[in-house]
Amino acid sequence: MAGPRPLANGSGITMRPARSQTQEREENIFLFYPNLVGYSRVVLTIASLYYMPLHPRTCSLLYSASCLLDALDGMAARYFDQETKFGIVLDMVTDRCTTSCLLVFLASAFPRWSIIFQGLISLDLASHYMHMYATLSMGESGRSHKDVDESRSWVLKMYYTNKKVLFIFCALNELFFIALYLLSFSSPYLSPTLKTSDNLASLPVGKPAPVERSMVFASPWSAGAMEYARANKMDSTIPWILAITSFPVMAGKQIINMIQLVKASRWLAEGDIERKRAHARKGQ
- The terminus-to-terminus CA distance of the chain in angstroms comes to 59
Element containing residue 131 per DSSP (H, E) = helix 114-138
Q: Are 86 and 162 in contact (CB under 8 A)?
A: no
User: What's the CA gap between 261 and 253, in Å, rounded?
Assistant: 12
Q: Which of 175, 47, 194, 177 is nearest to 104 (CA)?
A: 177
Element containing residue 255 per DSSP (H, E) = helix 237-283
User: What's the CA gap between 126 and 103, in Å, rounded?
Assistant: 15
Which residues fall within 8 angstroms of residue 237, CB to CB, at 6 or more apart? Answer: 206
Query: Which sign, positive or negative, has the C-alpha torsion 22, 23, 25, 28?
Result: positive
Which residues fall within 8 angstroms of residue 41, CB to CB, at 6 or more apart? Answer: 66, 69, 70, 73, 94, 98
Q: Which of 70, 73, 91, 95 is catalytic?
A: 95
Annotation marks residue 149 as catalytic:
no
Q: Which of 192, 101, 193, 83 is nearest to 142 (CA)?
A: 83
Residue 12 DSSP class: S
User: What's the CA gap between 19 and 188, in Å, rounded?
Assistant: 71
The angle formed by the CA atoms of residues 152, 155 and 157, to the nearest 5 degrees, is 65
Q: Annotated catalytic sites, by residue?
A: 95
